[in-house]
Amino acid sequence: MGALGALMTGGLAGTAWAVDGEAVMVHGGNNPAALPCITCHGADAKGIAASGFPRLAGLPAAYIVKQLHDFRADRRLNPVMQPIAKALTEPEIAGVAEFLAARPRVNVAAAAPTAQPVPGSGEWIALRGAWSRNIPECTLCHGPSGLGVGNTFPPLAGQSAAYLESQLWAWKGRSEPGPRQRNGKPGKPVLIPATRHNDPNGLMAHIAASLTGAEIKSLAEYFGSMGDSDEPFDDSQHRLR
């Protein structure tokens, strides 16, 4: 093959592998099963809080890629996301992850701390943990105000309470009352196993298993109450400046 032919072939190959992440976000992948992200996550990728769909805008690209790979490998179970992740190509995953990571990162007006958080409350566990049960404070890994640290620990602030609560239950698993018997007595509880198995060293599985249902709800409401701020985000310090 001549130099011109090699150049053209390389150019075409490069074009074939370069995927417009915004196109995947808005129109979906080449496979019709790879639905557009905006369907559930909103046109601005900030999520749809009322429906419990999470914010994707500003998440680290490596984190997004890992989650899509985990959906593919059934390490994270979700009837909507698993088929989509399996329908996306690797270039599409890389492209949409880079596009979403470049979107505005969440700027959080942190909740004003109370003088003395109520022991056992969501604020207490978020900031101080429950070390008697080996539950570290959330901010130890997820950073001050839950703004996220690196590619492993995503922001908690900026996500809806409904989404955060659902994910803690996804790590914990739960049981629900079974159908009533003919005599009116409650049926046997139905066990709903954990659907997330993709946390580093099982850290979140341990924490979620150690939390009560009331603590899960309170924690989710605490971080879910942190609204967007118009101030610029200082990424080097993981804080508002």
Return d(Cα 27, Cα 32) in angstroms, integer.
10
Tokens describing residue 20: 């417009």
Is-contact 19 95, C-beta < 8 A? yes
Q: Which long-range contacts (CB under 8 A, 24 or more apart) does 87-92 make?
A: 87/29, 87/31, 87/32, 87/33, 87/34, 88/24, 88/29, 88/31, 88/34, 89/19, 89/29, 89/30, 89/31, 91/17, 91/18, 91/19, 92/19, 92/24, 92/29, 92/30, 92/34
Enumerate the known binding-site residues: 37, 40-41, 81, 138, 141-142, 204
Enumerate the known binding-site residues for heme c: 37, 40-41, 81, 138, 141-142, 204
Give backbone dihedrals phi and psi of 83, rounded to 5 degrees, phi first.
-65, -35
Is-contact 157 223, C-beta < 8 A? yes
Return d(Cα 33, Cα 86) in angstroms, integer.
9
